[in-house]
Structure 1
Amino acid sequence: MTRAPRRATLAAIALTGVGALTLAACSSGGDTDTSSSGSEGSGGSEATTSTEFTYLGQTQNSTIVNTLTSLESGACSAAADGTPLVPDAIDGTTWDQQLQVLAGSDALSNMSMAAGTPSLMQDFIDAGLVLNLSEAFDELGVDGAVLPAAEATLKQLYQTDDLYALPTEYNIEGFWYNMDLFDQAGVEPPTTWSELEDAAAALDAAGIQPFIAAGSDGWPVTRLVGNYILRDLGADALQMVADGEASLTDPEYVAGADAVAALGDAGYFGPAAGSIDYNTAMNQFLTGGGAMFYMGSWALGNFNDPEQNQIGAENIGYFAFPEVEGGAGSISETPANAGIPVMFTTANYTDDIGEWVKCVAENYGNVALAESGQVTGFTVTETPADQSALTTMVQDEIASATGSVLWFEAAFTSEGTTVSQTNGGGLATGALSGAEFMELVQAANQG
């Protein structure tokens, strides 16, 4: 259920003890002039104007601001006329802390990257700081600008009935596989967990490493645990843990970790899974060092780069995380994340800012895809002529998805997330049993 806005909580959001941060340049610049021309379509009152449209991002991310800059001089030039884009950036390593400081002084930019921690974003929504985009889209006439799967993912992430952020990325996750290696072992893409186990055994027997995973990073392994649980127990299984209605140490949850640990015990992740990082794992897959690679569609940039991809993009297939026989979940529920969502502040929201919101919603997906190859959660109406078949496949998967599920740690505490990802590699090497892993994570979540 969407939380009712509570502006009284605004002061509580300000982070205490942060120190004197120099954030004057990051304040929302939208000077509001209520004496301007025209009237609002719904109420007949005078339209409100702004002298600038401010955006705040992280210095580590240039894709969003580059896309906005292109929109300003292109599709959004009318919105920018009199209300130019004024971008700013701060370091992302303390992003949530600095957003809290800005929120506490009512100085959030008109548009900014959303809080990295879902619970903080929920606090902003509770305090009425973030624009309700479901309502705004209805008023602006842009219903349908966000793909249903992406909208569902964001609502699930923030536990709201309405949309409060836009998906500048949208990533599906699943197994990418080397078609040649599958052919060599005589296996087909599996649709059930038992078939996945059988395929791994056949690949191993053929002298082919079945799985590649960045065990030192942990999360590519814990994704498998979470997905097994969601397929087995249903899409709300991990939220039940977060709500205290279930425990990761319950036998039916341990079964998910045990299933992944069994793959590790069999040696299916290779002899050094615990020491392999993300870049090494990516290189291993793209040079033919293993058959199956669980990863998000953000890897398309690597797959579509012929210098990195030595096996050829035409040799990469994809299959959804398999069903667990007899489970309550469905293979149609796609593991997904919205990458880097962006939010709009309610403070200094004017008709001019609304024009920007409308234009971003209608055009961001086209420009990001054409200029950066970025698959977003927006409806795309223009496909680049040179778009790869893999990118088209991902778009089709997203468009046809009937539901989505979040990753294993999405509703965990920060400590629980750290402990999970630190120990995930132990499942891939056989160093930890499923029960041992779940006990560690459950204890960390309880703090």
Structure 2
Amino acid sequence: MNARRGLWSLAGTMACLLVAVTGCGTSAGSPAAVRGSVSGPIEPHTITWLNARPSDGPVIKAVADVAAEYGKTHPGFKLDIISTPDRPSYLQKVVTLAAARKLPEFFDVDATPFAEKLRRQNRLVDVGNLLDEFGAKHRFRPLALDYQKFDNGGVYGLPLEFAMEHFWYNKSAFAEAGIEPPRTLDEFIADCKPLRAKGYIPIALDGKDGWPLERYLAYYPFRLQGNAFVKKLKRGDAKMTDPAGKAGADFIARLGAAGCFAKGFSSAGYTDATDLFTTGRAAVINDGTWDLGLLATDTLPASLRNDVGYFKLPTAQGAATGTDDYVVSSGIGMAVNSQKFDPLVKDFLKYLVSRYPAKYAAMGQLSPTIDTPTAIPGNATPVYGQVIREAERLGTRTAKPWDTELDPTTNNVVQQNLVLLAQGNMSPEAFMKSVDQAVTTNSPRYFSK
């Protein structure tokens, strides 16, 4: 799967390594550097960006192009790009480097509890403050910046993407089953039976990576309470057994009992899931606009090319969020190491902010900036442009992925037990109890009351 979507796993390793991070002093990064204030001559040298992205992806290509341009007017400058697309391996590397205080100038990070520890140790530059200084903050989509916000309201990761997550569906499969795109989450479950009866796998799912199924767990709570529930849950101020949490756990159990996922889904990866959908064997896949090249171009088989539609996250009775509120992200952010923040790093970052959006949008991607239109590729199907235009009518709230909110150990418990819950090997009651126990045990190490 596209690496930027997988979020923090190997939580046990991370938790152990975090002890080393926490044990270090907090002298790294002066207050001035944290604010983005540095002075002195710009002296070109090599700087490094450690990232969790595919090396041939549009983000890397666009950043590399900008760096090459910058190097032409700053002889001696080089951006060393080190990509580790496998997210668990990347995470282990970052935590290890953080413990040794050897993080490079730039590194990818979400607004997770781990990153919050770095922030409290003054090891991250305030990117939001820098964007203000550059006069560029107004250019960014509010939801792109919101996705990068820490609990204190600050932005410490530069958004390099913007993506909306939809449910993509096979129109012919739905027609054969005599159903329409579901309006509610309950209808979504009910649709699985007629799709199965017509020989389709109702929902293609990347079960190996953990977080895709965790998305489904978050849907009911988000519809009922927005992000308020997970914000409280992670600190122990709410329980999984509360009505919103119970609705999420029951939703997973009901999806499993209705046969909505493929047999053996837990061992299926991203490629397995997308292949099920793009070959017409699965009727639905939950995917983001980063995959428009797979879902809305002539790379699709001819038989499916004009048969792919999409629908938004269904609603629920008593919903507190609107139909245009759903998962919208700006991907993993580019963090700036305050320990290595110098005039060159700041100058390059300013140049990157000014030049990157247009290069990224030219590749058919949604830019994190408002003023940069997406170039629709020549081989796009009509649905490509339709989905891109959804960015113009988004709501004001976006569902935060739970794997960026929960402490890493609790998140590991959630992802492991979710599979058992969906397979019918764990009851909703046992699942909820396991989550509440994990939060009680682990959250105090990450969140202060």
The interval holding the TM-score normalised by the smaller chain is 0.7 to 0.9
Taking the aligned partners of 1:408 and 1:258, their CA distance within structure 2 comes to 17
Per-residue CA deviation, residues 201-243 of structure 1 (Å, 9 max, x unaligned), is: 4434555443222345443222111111111233211111011
1:99–1:415 distance in 2 versus 1, CA, 3 Å: closer
In the TM superposition, what is the alpha-carbon distance from 1:57 to its structure 2 partner?
1.6
Structure 1 residue 429, shift from structure 2 partner: 3.2
- The residue number in structure 1 matching 2:61 is 66
Give the number of equivalent residue pairs: 407
Q: Secondary structure at the match of 2:326?
A: strand
Moved more, 199-208 or 432-441: 199-208
8 Å Cα contact 1:13/1:103 also seen in 2: no
Are 2:108 and 1:113 equivalent residues in the alignment? yes
Q: Are 1:333 and 2:325 counterparts? A: yes
Relative distance call for 1:406 and 1:59 in structure 2 (3 A) is closer
Which whole-Å CA distance do the structure 2 matches of 1:287 and 1:197 have between them?
23
Does structure 2 retain, via aligned residues, the 8 Å contact 1:49–1:352?
yes
The answer (yes or no) to whether the contact 1:172–1:296 under 8 Å persists in 2 is: yes
Aligned partners of 1:416 and 1:441 also within 8 Å: yes
The structure having more radius of gyration, on CA atoms, is 1
Query: Relative to structure 1, is the Cα distance of residues 49 and 225 closer, same or farther in structure 2, using a 3 angstrom cutoff?
Result: same
State the TM-score, normalized to the length of structure 1: 0.78
Residue equivalent to 1:162: 154
The Cα shift of 1:396 comes to: 2.9
Q: Contact 1:210/1:269 (CA < 8 Å) preserved in 2?
A: yes
CA shift, 1:288, in A, is 1.1
Residues 157 and 333 of structure 2 are in contact (CA less than 8 Å); yes or no, is this contact kept in structure 1? Answer: yes
The reply to whether residue 81 of structure 1 matches residue 74 of structure 2 is: yes
Change (3 A) 1:103 1:201: closer
Q: Could you list the per-position Cα deviations for residues 145-186 of structure 1 after superposition, in whole angstroms to 9, with x for gaps in the alignment?
A: 32211111111xx22323211122333223111122222233
The one-letter code sitting in structure 1 at the alignment partner of 2:368 is: G
| Native 8 Å contact 1:110 1:353 kept in 2 | yes
Deviation string 1:374-425 (CA, Å, 9 cap, x unpaired) is 5453446253352634544443334432221212333223232223222323
Q: Is the 8 A contact 2:71 2:78 kept in 1?
A: no
User: Which residue of 368, 380, 383 corresponds with 1:377?
Assistant: 368
- Does the 8 Å contact 2:192/2:259 carry over to 1? no
**Are the equivalent residues in 2 in contact too, given 1:99–1:108 (CA < 8 A)?**
yes
Instruction: Describe the SS at the equivalent of 1:196.
Output: helix
Q: How does 1:309-348 map to 2 (within 5 A)?
A: 309=301, 311-347=303-339
Aligned residue type for 2:48: Y
| Alpha carbons 2:201, 2:281 under 8 Å: kept | yes
* 2:351 aligned partner: 359
Match of residue 407 from structure 1? 401
- Distance verdict in 2 for CA 1:255–1:364, change over 3 Å: same
Q: Which residue of 1 aligns with 2:388?
A: 395
Q: Cα 1:129–1:395, aligned 2, differ >3 Å: closer, same or farther?
A: farther
**Aligned residue number for residue 237 of structure 2:** 245
**AA aligned opposite 2:246:** V
Give 4+ residue runs of structure 1 displaced > 6 Å after superposition.
none
**What is the CA–CA distance in structure 1 between the aligned matches of 2:22 and 2:128, rounded to whole Å?**
33
Tell me, yes or no, if structure 1 residue 257 matches structure 2 residue 257. no
CA contact (8 A) 1:255 1:434 kept: no
Structure 1 residue 265: Cα displacement: 1.2
Structure 1 position 178 matched with structure 2 position 173: no
Query: Does structure 1 conserve the Cα–Cα contact (< 8 Å) formed by 2:174 and 2:180?
Result: yes
Distance 1:83 1:423, change over 3 A: same
Counterpart code for 1:57:
L
Provide the C-alpha distance between the structure 1 equivalents of 2:100 and 2:254, rounded to a whole number of angstroms: 52
Secondary structure, counterpart of 1:291 in structure 2: strand
Check conservation: 1:149, 1:398, Cα contact below 8 A: no
* Alignment CA distance shift 1:393-1:427 (3 Å): farther
Whole-Å Cα distance in 2 between the matches of residues 293 and 173 of structure 1? 10
Secondary structure of the residue aligned to 1:68 is helix
Equivalent residue number for residue 123 of structure 2: 129
- With 393-402 and 411-420 compared, the bigger mean Cα shift is at 393-402
Mapped pair 1:141 → 2:135: yes
Corresponding residue number in structure 2 for 1:152:
146
List alignment gaps of at least 5 residues for structure 2.
1-17, 443-449
Contact 1:152 1:403 in 2 (8 A): no
Task: Provide the residue aligned with 1:386 in structure 2.
Answer: 377
2:185 matched residue in structure 1: 193
Alignment of 1:22-33 (within 5 A): none
CA contact (8 A) 2:113 2:406 kept: no
Q: CA deviation at 1:106?
A: 6.1
- Cα RMSD of the aligned pairs, angstroms, is 3.5
2:367/2:373 contact within 8 Å kept: no
Tell me if the contact between 1:13 and 1:123 (Cα under 8 Å) persists in the aligned partners. no
Distance 1:65 1:90, change over 3 A: closer
Structure 1, unmatched stretches of 5+, are: 1-11, 19-27, 33-42
Match of residue 218 from structure 2: 226
Q: Structure 1 vs Structure 2: percent identity of aligned residues?
A: 24
Say if 1:394 and 1:13 are closer, same or farther in 2 by CA, change over 3 A.
farther
1-side partners of 2:20 and 2:209: how far apart? 32
After superposition, give the CA deviation of every residue in 1:328-353 in whole Å (9 maximum; x if it has no partner).
Answer: 23333221343331012334545543
Match of 1:55 in 2: 48
Map residues 12-31 of structure 1 onto 2, 5 A cutoff. Answer: 15=21
Partner of 1:443: 437
8 Å Cα contact 2:50-2:104 kept in structure 1: no
Check conservation: 2:106, 2:337, Cα contact below 8 A. yes
